[in-house]
């Protein structure tokens, strides 16, 4: 796919009412992981620019290694310890380059689709003891607002026949299957937990079904005080006032003592 294909429309609005996607620009991009053919796909409806980073010849191929990755400014740019997004991005690019053939689709949907500002508001609620799911609900959002229609159109643009998916998220596998793109294999991303991301990993595993390995939770953490947990019922009761930008509720003032190695016992690998 060369430069003469720039501005070629690949998804018209009559085909997909929520988007009008075109190839806007492309070039070879050297990175620490290798040189990727980097293609910008512009959605003319919301003016968001999504990326495909292509390594090797993927067109018309089967068993293509795929990472569908949503942007994370706090993790990828600011190197926040609260999530594993930067490590997933780097691991995805590295494994794709090592495989010799693959594609990473970078989707512009910050904070599981709620945007950067609301993500920071959710972080503020997490400081009060709410997990990532409850924080979203208190702000009036669903647990995960991400969609993958753009990725499906990009995969069809390259006529990719089947994929091996770099993910821990079962929702991505389901979305791919429902789109008609065969998933041959899930390739797990084994990013170690740190004390700041522990609650995030717990919520993703126990409340969103993400699939982790026990080895990701090994090692001695630095001090990570436990936070009071609020029930889902509490969260829903309070969500209306937080949707109106009110001050986060106070906790009950009780902070349980950290119990050392017990933090690992809270996590069990997803079977």
Higher-pLDDT residue of 217, 88: 88
The predicted pLDDT at position 152 comes to 95
Would you say 107 and 151 are in contact if contact means Cβ atoms under 8 Å apart? yes
Higher-pLDDT residue of 197, 6: 197
Paired with 185 in beta bridges are: 164
Identified catalytic residue from 86, 131, 146, 240: 146
Q: Is 229 a catalytic residue?
A: no
The predicted pLDDT at position 205 comes to 83
Domains and CATH numbers, the chain: 1-109+146-187 (3.40.50.10990), 128-143+194-271 (no CATH)
The predicted pLDDT at position 6 comes to 52
d(CA 140, CA 168): 26
The predicted pLDDT at position 80 comes to 94
Top mean-pLDDT range of 42-46, 95-99, 226-230 = 95-99
Structure confidence by residue, pLDDT tens digits, 83-141: 999 999 999 999 999 999 999 999 999 999 999 999 999 999 999 999 889 999 999 99
Q: In what order do the strands lie in the sheet with 21-31?
A: 9-11, 21-31, 34-43, 49-55, 102-107, 64-70, 163-166, 183-187
Identified catalytic residue from 108, 144, 164, 240: 144
The predicted pLDDT at position 149 comes to 93
14 pLDDT more than 50: no
Residue labelled with tokens 């995969």? 155
Q: Is 144 a catalytic residue?
A: yes
Side-chain half-sphere CA neighbours of 78 within 13 A = 11
Higher-pLDDT residue of 228, 23: 23
Calculate the average pLDDT of the chain: 79
């Amino acid at each position: 796919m060369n430069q003469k294909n720039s501005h070629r429309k690949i998804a018209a609005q009559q085909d997909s009412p929520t988007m009008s996607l075109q190839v806007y620009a492309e070039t070879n991009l050297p990175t620490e992981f290798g040189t990727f053919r980097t293609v910008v796909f512009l959605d003319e409806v919301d003016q968001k620019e999504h990326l495909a980073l292509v390594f090797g010849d993927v067109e018309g191929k089967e068993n293509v290694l795929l990472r569908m990755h949503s942007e994370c400014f706090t993790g990828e740019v600011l190197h926040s310890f609260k999530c594993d997004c930067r490590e997933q991005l780097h691991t995805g690019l590295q494994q794709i380059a090592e495989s010799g053939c693959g594609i990473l689709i970078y989707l512009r949907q910050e904070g599981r689709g709620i945007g950067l500002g609301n993500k920071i508001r959710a972080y503020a609620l997490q400081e009060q003891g709410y997990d990532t799911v409850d924080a979203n609900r208190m702000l009036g959002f669903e647990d995960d607002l991400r969609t993958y229609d753009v990725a499906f159109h990009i995969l069809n643009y390259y006529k990719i026949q089947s994929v091996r998916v770099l993910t821990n998220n079962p929702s991505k596998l389901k979305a791919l299957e429902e789109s008609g793109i065969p998933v041959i294999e899930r390739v797990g991303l084994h990013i170690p937990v740190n004390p700041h991301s522990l609650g995030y990993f717990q919520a993703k595993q126990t409340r969103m079904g993400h699939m982790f390995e026990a080895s990701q939770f090994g090692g001695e953490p630095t001090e990570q005080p436990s936070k009071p947990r609020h029930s889902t019922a509490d969260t829903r009761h309070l969500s209306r006032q937080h949707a109106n930008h009110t001050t986060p509720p106070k906790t009950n003032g009780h902070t349980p003592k950290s119990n050392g190695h017990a933090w690992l016992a809270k996590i069990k690998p997803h079977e």
